[in-house]
Amino acid sequence: MLNRETDLLKEAEELENQSKIAERDKNYELAISVLMQAKDNYSKLGLNGQVSIIIKEIVRLRRLKGDEKGSIQ
């Protein structure tokens, strides 16, 4: 069981890194999508603090995405 938990944690961390790259490239949809997957992993591990952090990051990215749409018009 410990190995599965380690794998979930490692995957969640990799997903967070992918979201940072996607955000840098202004691909907010992808960033949000991979953060949702990371949130699921942290939730399975019972890491509620990380889940809260990820949720705040998703909200921030959704705002950025909305701001970008507004600036294009």
- For residue 70, the model assigns a pLDDT of 60
Half-sphere exposure of 61 (CA within 13 A, CB side): 25
Size of the chain, expressed as the number of residues it contains: 73
- For residue 2, the model assigns a pLDDT of 87
pLDDT, tens only, 13-72: 999 999 999 999 999 999 999 999 999 999 999 999 999 999 999 999 999 999 876 654
- For residue 49, the model assigns a pLDDT of 98
pLDDT at 73 exceeding the cut of 60: no
Q: Are 31 and 16 in contact (CB under 8 A)?
A: no
Q: Are 39 and 51 in contact (CB under 8 A)?
A: yes
**Domain map of the chain by residue range?**
2-72
**How far is it, in rounded angstroms, from Cα 23 to Cα 6?**
26
